[in-house]
Chains A and B, each alone.
Chain A
Amino acid sequence: MSPVANAATHSDILAAIGGTPTIELARLAPHPAVRLFAKLEGQNPTGSVKDRIARAMIFEALTSGALRPGQTILEPSSGNTGISLAMIGRRLGHPVRVVMPDNTTPERAQLLRLYGAEIISSPGAEGSNGAIRLAQRLAAGDPSVFMPYQYGNEANPRAHQETTGPEILAQVPEVDMFVAGLGTGGTLTGVARALKAARPSVRIVAAEPLPGEQVQGLRSLEEGFVPPVLDESLLNDRFLVSNRDAVIGLRRLLRDEGIFGGLSSGAATAVAIRAARELEHGNVVVLLADGGWKYLSADLWTRDVDELEDELEGSLLW
């Protein structure tokens, strides 16, 4: 390979977002007629897929005038989106405030502070829903803040429709199935739009975290939440993944393929292997949302799985 085959020179860090590598997972493919590929979103500048949507939401808000000079960016986030926004805010000169559940890994708070963001904690027992509610209360009627609101901002799926999806089509032109974790729904919705326009038969598969009892702090079903950016009609299948299976998946990624992924990457991989088993032949692309760096303190790789499962029950790691 040429020494510069994967190299590029960019005008600044924001221009280096996207263009992530896709790696074949030959050792994890369930049978020889199915090829499995992983798109490594941990290769983005702050280490996760969220750099793509954070850049898109901020650039769009600057263009439309929704984000004005001096305004603070406020966002509910379990970590990755907040970290991406903090980096972009630092680069562009906007203070960033992140509402984050208090039961995530300490690495996320460390990174947020490092980029200069202020952290507001929301009760872990209320999960992401609680962070969303608190952020909405804080932003209401306050002209000094701008909330990108990844759950309802069309720039989120559009970023994937315009960048992630076309990259996948260039890297695996005959893609038959795409698998990703379900959080805001932006990745699945945006990538599905791009892939289905080119290959209508492609199957879109969601890997959804099975929430622990302690993070299901809803007071009523009406407090439930379907993110506005998620277009459920584009999905073809949806699997629940336990923390146990996600941990086993991330260990297999590391052991068999040398890929150091985060918990949602383990979950998406577990679902990709399971769903790929039902194909007679074809190409499956799984999106690995981040690397393992932000999970080192949870030691997901070496501890006893039963012990980990009990501990993960009350935390929010994806």
Chain B
Amino acid sequence: MPRFFVHGLVCCAALLTGVAPYAAGASAAGEGEQHELPNFITLLGQLLAGTSAGEFLHRWENVIFSLLVAGFIILVVRLASRNPQLQPGKLQNFIELIIEELEKFIVGILGPRGRKYVPFLGTLFLYILCMNYFGLIPLMKAPTANINQTLALSLCVFIYVQYAGLRENGVLGYVDHLMGQPRTAMQWALVWLMVPIHIIGELAKPVSLACRLFGNITGEDILIFIFVGLGVAITSFTHVPVGVPLQVPFYFLALLTGFIQALVFMLLSTIYFAMMLPHEDEGHH
């Protein structure tokens, strides 16, 4: 029981520290449009406003956060796998559990020949999940709330899917796939229609992946921002830079959407691989 109480206290303190910089940042922001809670990069940038360092921080904000997330993942996995035991410790057990579940999930869709895509797709899931959840830590920001980040991720998927298609099907098989695998005379007659449709379909996939992730995470960030603003506005008559944590219920919603969007990104990438790779077991999906 007391342990639970301490957790609650820590959470409350974390939420309040999330509110305070808003009150500090809202007065100083002014320039440009702001629809996210200030993070430590923007605060540092405001401290160094006008100098080249401030400009640098402002411009490279998302890159810094995505590198932070990547460093975090590398650190945790390194700690878990540095000294592997036959009888795993807590951290090693946890990481092994995640990786085994991911592998089972992806192999369940792609079949055993999809095992070599597990590292890429699993990393994609873990990276996006950590980036989504990073936005919920006070003074941090979700890099996925920026379209450049999500577009970069989906372009990686696009290029890898095309590469895998070319490699596994061969050039002829790839062109055959783009023509919709014509076998009968009727299908051959419609090739001129199928090729543009397939090309547009391939090009639309990364755009839709990027827009989905970006829209969801940005929408959730704006929702939290608006409710923090509301909570601060309620107590504005006291002139104290703390507010009512009205955003708390939306943190749970954000936990849910962050996980589902990471899962959907990985799942759709897996489906794109499954559609591109040669299917010898037609009809077993």
The answer to whether A binds B is: no
